[in-house]
Structure 1
Amino acid sequence: MSKIAVVTGANQGLGFALVEGLARRLGPDDVVYLTGRDAGRVAQAREEVTEAKAEVRTHLLDVRDGAAVAAFADDLRDRHGGVDIVLSNHYLRTVPQDVPAEVIDAYVDANNLGTTRMLRSFLPVLRPGGRFVVIASSLGRLRELPEHLRRRFDEAATLDELDATMLAWRDAVRAGRAGDEGWPDFINIPSKVGQVAAVRTLARQRRADDLAHDRLLVASCPGMIDTASSRPWFDMTGAQTAEEAAVALVRLVLEPDVDPAFYGELVRFGRVLSWA
């Protein structure tokens, strides 16, 4: 059976490198979907893919549109019988000059609600042996939050509860009271914690069935990457290129035997990072 792969946020940076890496290692009967929310950039990215063995198809997808995400998943189920690889990689960037209260609505909608939309729509069509990876960060660990906020993420029973937590944080940032409530000033931290928590929340519900059918649900930290998103915030000395960072992620989703200890965890370079 041919393999079907989907990469979000794939018109540049790590997402594009993931598409190229998959397309070079998969076979001529396999399909890699290069997705993004800007038609021109998606089309241009497709033109820049080189040395592909698998077929690379484009699809216009804005993860802020829940109906569009669900429709795409349904279409892949009807067309292919499901999907085998999902790399949830989309990211709405910010720069240090941004005022958090002015950007937080779009930021949470894309980065957090976009992630939970992908999980809700694509996990049900993930075939046996499938791999679903949420690209997150080592900043997405509970230790990055003060203790009184950790329970909101660690004890979320459903994605609805977790979405509510993210929206409450969004509202606090918008109203200028997030600092008084103990939230970190760097909005990337609660957002990444929310992404990892989403994986962990669903893993508690799905673990037995997924492991019985060789499905992997995992969050992954790709390490420091020299991209337009990272440069304004971090020292890029020693940072990986997007192509270098994609290697471990492509290996993770294509290896036939994955350590079950990875399931539901945050993984970096083949090692589980402690959540707490």
Structure 2
Amino acid sequence: MTVARIALVTGANQGLGFALVEGLAARMEPDDLVLLTGRNAQRVTDAVSLVAKAPGTRSRVEGRVLDVTDAPAVDRLATELRTRYGGVDIVVSNASALLTPDRSQAEQADEFIDVANGGAHAVLRSFGPVLRPGGRLIVVASSLGTLGHLDPRFHHLFDGASLDEVEEAVESWRAAIRAGTSEELGWPHWINVPSKVAQVAAVRAVAAERRATDLDRNTLVAAVCPGLVDTPLSRPWFPDFSQAQTPAEAATAVLDLLLAEKVDPATYGELVRFGKVVPWQEGRPPGHQERLLAE
């Protein structure tokens, strides 16, 4: 079967990732292919079945088992799509690990960092080179992913850094968590903060190398903040969900960015929230109470 465009979403069994697959399948064309990926084969199969049966689905949807912490597996999938289809048109790095308040941050740090940061790095490294002209490569982050949310002592680790340097900074932070010295050194208690900053820094690093060529080809590399979304990942941390979006609601602005006919150069390499750029220098280091209320 001829495939016009290919979209791929990681961490798509549930929540925002699932809503993005639903939205892509409804808004793309019948000759297009949407790949729903996740770590658990049965959940992937079940999720694909739900999307395929949805009344608004137009595009073909297929499931792929993909653990984003396995960088060689991510690279194999990217290579397969390049070999079979000549590349990919839309890639959304959305996978994240559950972070709960009933366990210590240090106890959960390795898995969380491996998925959120290691996974994003693997997707950027492997799918960037196979992104076709006119493509979109997006990392789902949050408004916590701005430099101002870190102590100024750490700004140089992420500002203007290469992807290799971002990875080194993440590993330095991880080592401090393991040693029990991270907060003493000035890292935020809530590990989601440095993780999101590093995600956006990784996007900025890749975008800095590709900007001129990508903009000539109407191609976008960016990070997105979907806002507060009512999901199992966010529920444990927020006492009031009255203003939270459903995953389908949160997916709308992200889908608009992914499917826009023309790339706005102002959004290239930036963190985008509801179509607006969130300044890289914005924010301030969160205190004990603030971290539970930050979006």
TM-score where L is the length of structure 1:
0.98
**1:108 maps to what in 2?**
113
**Post-superposition CA distance 1:158-191 (Å, at most 9, x none):** 2111111101101111111000110000000000
Distance in 2 between residues matched to 1:166 and 1:183, nearest whole Å: 11
TM-aligned CA deviation for residue 255 of structure 1: 1.1
**2:178 maps to what in 1?**
174
TM-aligned CA deviation for residue 237 of structure 1: 2.1
**1:203 maps to what in 2?**
207
Moved over 4 A (4+): none
Number of equivalenced pairs: 275
* Residue 211 of structure 2 is aligned to residue 217 of structure 1: no
Structure 1 segment 8-157 matched on structure 2, within 5 A: 8-49=10-51, 50=54, 51-156=56-161
Distance in 2 between residues matched to 1:204 and 1:258, nearest whole Å: 16
Q: Is the 8 A contact 2:219 2:263 kept in 1?
A: no
* Residue 254 of structure 2 is aligned to residue 252 of structure 1: no
Distance in 2 between residues matched to 1:155 and 1:29, nearest whole Å: 40
TM-aligned CA deviation for residue 40 of structure 1: 1.1
TM-aligned CA deviation for residue 97 of structure 1: 1.2
**2:242 maps to what in 1?**
237
Q: Is the 8 A contact 1:101 1:175 kept in 2?
A: no
User: What SS does structure 2 have at the residue aligned with 1:232?
Assistant: helix
Unaligned runs of at least 5 residues, structure 2: 282-295
TM-aligned CA deviation for residue 16 of structure 1: 0.3
**2:196 maps to what in 1?**
192
**Post-superposition CA distance 1:175-232 (Å, at most 9, x none):** 1100011000000000000000001111111111111111100000001101110110
**Post-superposition CA distance 1:31-63 (Å, at most 9, x none):** 000000011111111111113100000000000
Deviates more, 1:171-180 or 1:95-104: 95-104
Q: Is the 8 A contact 1:27 1:54 kept in 2?
A: yes
Question: What amino acid does structure 1 have at the position aligned with 2:214?
Answer: D
TM-aligned CA deviation for residue 258 of structure 1: 2.3
Question: What amino acid does structure 2 have at the position aligned with 1:147?
Answer: P
Q: Is the 8 A contact 1:221 1:268 kept in 2?
A: yes
Distance in 1 between residues matched to 2:259 and 2:202, nearest whole Å: 23
* Residue 272 of structure 2 is aligned to residue 267 of structure 1: yes
Q: Is the 8 A contact 2:134 2:217 kept in 1?
A: yes
TM-aligned CA deviation for residue 155 of structure 1: 3.0
TM-aligned CA deviation for residue 101 of structure 1: 1.9
User: What SS does structure 1 have at the residue aligned with 2:222?
Assistant: strand
Q: Is the 8 A contact 1:7 1:33 kept in 2?
A: yes
Q: Is the 8 A contact 2:35 2:64 kept in 1?
A: yes
Q: Is the 8 A contact 1:4 1:83 kept in 2?
A: yes
User: RMSD between aligned alpha carbons?
Assistant: 0.9
TM-score where L is the length of structure 2:
0.92
**2:168 maps to what in 1?**
164
Question: What amino acid does structure 1 have at the position aligned with 2:22?
Answer: E
User: What SS does structure 2 have at the residue aligned with 1:217?
Assistant: strand
TM-aligned CA deviation for residue 98 of structure 1: 1.8
Question: What amino acid does structure 2 have at the position aligned with 1:244?
Answer: E
Distance in 2 between residues matched to 1:111 and 1:166, nearest whole Å: 11
Unaligned runs of at least 5 residues, structure 1: none
% identity of equivalent residues: 54
Distance in 2 between residues matched to 1:192 and 1:237, nearest whole Å: 24
User: What SS does structure 1 have at the residue aligned with 2:277?
Assistant: strand
